[in-house]
Amino acid sequence: MRKPARLAAVAAATPLAALPAMAQEAAPAALPAISAGDTAWMLTATALVLMMTIPGLALFYAGMVRKKNVLATMMQSFTICALVSIVWMVAGYSLAFGPGNAFIGDLSRLFLSGLAERWDQPFVMMEGEDPATIPESVFVMFQMTFAIITPALITGAFADRMKFSALLVFCVLWSLLVYAPVAHWVWHPNGWIYALGALDFAGGTVVHINAGVAGLVAAIVLGRRTGYGSENMAPYNLTLAVIGASMLWVGWFGFNAGSALEAGAGAAMAMLVTQIAAAAATLSWMFAEWATKGKPSVLGAISGAISGLVAITPAAGFVLPMPALIIGAVGGLAGFWGATALKKMCGYDDSLDAFGVHGVCGIVGSLLVGIFAYAPLSASGTDPGTAGSLGQFLLQLYATAAVFAFTAVATFVLLKLTDLVVGLRVAEEEEREGLDVTQHGERLA
Amino acid sequence: MKLVMAFIKPFKLDEVREALTPLGVQGLTVTEVKGFGRQKGQTEIYRGAEYQVSFLPKVKIEVVVPAELVDGVVEAIARAARTEKIGDGKIFVLDVERALRIRTGETDRAAL
C-alpha cells in the first residue's frame, strides 16, 4: 500500500505549536476530510477484488481439475469467502491492523470495535499517521477481500484430495496465525518489515508469497494425488479457467490500483503497469511454451497472465511502464519454469501450481521492485520516496526470505494440528470417487 | 437388409450425411463414441504434464438399408469420410433379420 507521510514529523518540523492562533486557522484546512472520489473508487476496487475470488478464482481452479472435483473446488473458494469474512470481522482485522507490536496486532479491534465512534471520520491507521481520505469501513472491507483471496489461492495446491472439514479448520487457523501477522509486518506502520522500508504495494509478500509457500508446504504434507504421474489428470473444462483468469485480470485492477487507497495519479499508474505486466507475461509464457513444448496452449496463455499480474503486484505503485514490461516478461518465464521444470525436478504435486505461479512470481516481483522502484511515485510530503538500488534489492530479499521462512514453518505446524483434529486427507476410495459426491453429495451431470 | 456401421472422424459427419441423402437413405443414427485403432492416441500437455490420451473421439453412424443399396452406401461413406490421414475410421456391414416401424406396424423393407 501507499505509505502515508508521517504527519507527526511534518508537524514537529513546523513551528505551529509556537503560534497557536495560526495553528487554529491552519488546522482545519490541513486535516483531510473524507473524499467522495477516493471513497467511490475504493468501494469499486473492493468489489473488484471480491470478484477475483468469487467467481474468478473459483472458475479458474474448477476448470483445471477433473470433472469429479469441479463442484468441490468451486465450493472451497466460495466457502472461504464467507468463512474468512467472519474471521476477519471477529479477530483477523484486529490482529493485522491493531497497533500491537512489531510482529502482530492486538485484540483492541475485536468485532471491529471502535467503528461506532469513528465510522464517519477519515481513517487513521495509527496515531501520528497522516489520515487517509476514506472511512475505515471501506478499508476494513478492502483488506477483507485480500484476506479472503489469499487462503483461497492455497486451495490450488491441495486440490482433489483435502477433506472439506480440514479445509475449514485450516483456513481459520491460517488466516489468524499466518495471514494476519504477515499483513501486520508489511503494511502496519508498527510492523517490522514496514519499518525496515521493504516495499510491497499490493501483496507480493502478504498475499502471493504467503499463499504460494503455504501451498508448497500443503502439497508436500498432504502428498501427491492418487495416480499422480500415471493417470490422466487433464483439466475438465478449460473454458471455465479462461473465464476465471479473465475475471482475475480485470479484478486485479481493483487489487493493485485500489492499493493506492485513493483515486489519484498513483492509482492510475498502478493500473497501467498492471496491464502492461499481465500482457507481457501472457506473451512470454506463450512463446516459451511454444518454443520448448511445440504448441502455444490456452492453459499456458492464461497462466502467463496470472504470473505477470502476480509479479507486478508488489511493484504496482512503485514502478514506471518500462520496468513493468520487464517484470511482466520475467514473471511469465518464471511462472512457466515454476509450473513445469521446478515442479518436475522437486517431485511435489502442487496440483494447480499455487507455488509455481504465485510463490515463484511473487518472489520475482518482490525482488525486482527493489531494482526498478521510481522514487517520485512513493514520495509524499517530506518523504523523497524509495528508489531502486542494490541496498533496496537486498532489503527486498531479506523481507522475502523472512516471509518465506515464517510461512513455511507456521503452515507446517497448522497443517499437522489440523491433521490431529479432523484429518487432512480424504480416504483413497473417496479420492477416486471424487470430492463432489463424497464431500458434498452432488455431482455434475 | 444390411446394417452399415461406420466409425468416422467427427468433423466428417455432415459430409457423410450429404453423400447419403441422394442414395435414398431415409434415416440414420449417430452416436458420439471414443476408441482407438492404429492411430493409438494423442499426447496432451498441460503445464508440462504430459498425458497419453488413448481413446480418441469418433462418431459412429448406423444405417440400415436394403441389400441392393449397401455397396453404394459403403462407397459413399468411405469417399466422404476419407482424409487419407491416419484415424479416418472403419466401416462394418452386418446382416439384419427383421425391422419394424413402431407407429404403423410396417415390417422389414417397408419399415426402412
Q: Residues A76-127: pLDDT tens digits?
A: 999 999 999 999 999 999 999 999 999 999 999 999 999 999 999 999 998 8
Task: Please report the pLDDT score of residue A11 as a whole number.
Answer: 43
Across the interface, of B48, B52, B53, the residue whose CB is closest to A344 is B48
CA distance A422 to A115: 36
Task: Please report the pLDDT score of residue A30 as a whole number.
Answer: 56
Task: Please report the pLDDT score of residue A19 as a whole number.
Answer: 46
Q: Does A440 touch chain B (CB under 8 A)?
A: no
Mark yes or no for CB contact B45/A295 under 8 Å: yes
Task: Please report the pLDDT score of residue B26 as a whole number.
Answer: 86
Q: Give residue A380's pLDDT band: very low, low, confident or very high (50, 70, 90).
A: confident
Residue B45 with chain A: CB contacts under 8 Å: 293-295, 297
Task: Answer yes or no: is pLDDT of A441 > 90.
Answer: yes
Q: Does A29 touch chain B (CB under 8 A)?
A: no
Q: Which has the higher per-residue pLDDT, A316 or A129?
A: A316
Average pLDDT over residues B44-63: 88
Across the interface, of B47, B51, B53, the residue whose CB is closest to A299 is B47
Q: Does B51 touch chain A (CB under 8 A)?
A: yes
Task: Please report the pLDDT score of residue A118 as a whole number.
Answer: 92
Task: Please report the pLDDT score of residue A348 as a whole number.
Answer: 95
Percent share of chain A, pLDDT over 70:
93
Domains in chain A, CATH or no CATH each: 38-435 (1.10.3430.10)
Across the interface, of A235, A294, A356, the residue whose CB is closest to B46 is A235
Nearest-CA distance A434 → chain B (Å) = 20
Contacting residues for A21 by C-beta, under 8 A, at least 6 apart: none
Q: Give residue A3's pLDDT band: very low, low, confident or very high (50, 70, 90).
A: low
Q: Give residue A14's pLDDT band: very low, low, confident or very high (50, 70, 90).
A: very low
Task: Answer yes or no: is pLDDT of A6 > 90.
Answer: no
Task: Answer yes or no: is pLDDT of A308 > 80.
Answer: yes
**DSSP per-residue codes, A15-74:** TTTT-HHHHHHHHHHHS----HHHHHHHHHHHHHHHHIIIIIIHHHHHTTS-GGGHHHHH
Q: Does A300 touch chain B (CB under 8 A)?
A: yes
List pLDDT tens digits, range A72-89: 999 999 999 999 999 999
Q: Does A346 touch chain B (CB under 8 A)?
A: no
Residue B52 with chain A: CB contacts under 8 Å: 232
Question: Which chain B residue's Cα is nearest to A285?
Answer: B47
List pLDDT tens digits, range A389-432: 999 999 999 999 999 999 999 999 999 999 999 999 999 999 99
